[in-house]
Amino acid sequence: MEASIAGWYSYFQNPDPANALIKAANPAMTDNQLVYGFAKMQEYGLVTSGDAATLGIGAMTDQRWQDFFQSMVTAGIYPPDTDFRQAYTLEFTNQGVPPRLDP
């Protein structure tokens, strides 16, 4: 979790190293596509909005899990007596501030 969260903070600070890796793995990806994707992620608050705006990237709350579970019950995916609290932990989330990024 910590490495993933650090990666997102690093990407939003400077997307160039990640973009180079993306292009190496997918040579069909263009600079324009990467710039567009980065701009849209920022515009729509992907990764950084909602609970992440106050709790940091990787944020998770009991309420969010409960809301998700309820929507799955409503959709008929899970029976209502499922103990959804056994499906997650908040132990590694809600760091609040970005982890230290090593250069």
Burial degree of 11 (CB within 10 A; 0-12, 13-18, 19+): middle
pLDDT at 103: 43
pLDDT in tens, the chain (103 residues): 888 888 999 999 999 999 999 999 999 999 999 999 999 999 999 998 888 888 888 889 999 999 999 999 999 999 999 999 999 988 888 766 555 544 4
The pTM for the full model equals 0.74
Rounded Cα–Cα distance for residues 20 and 97 (Å): 26
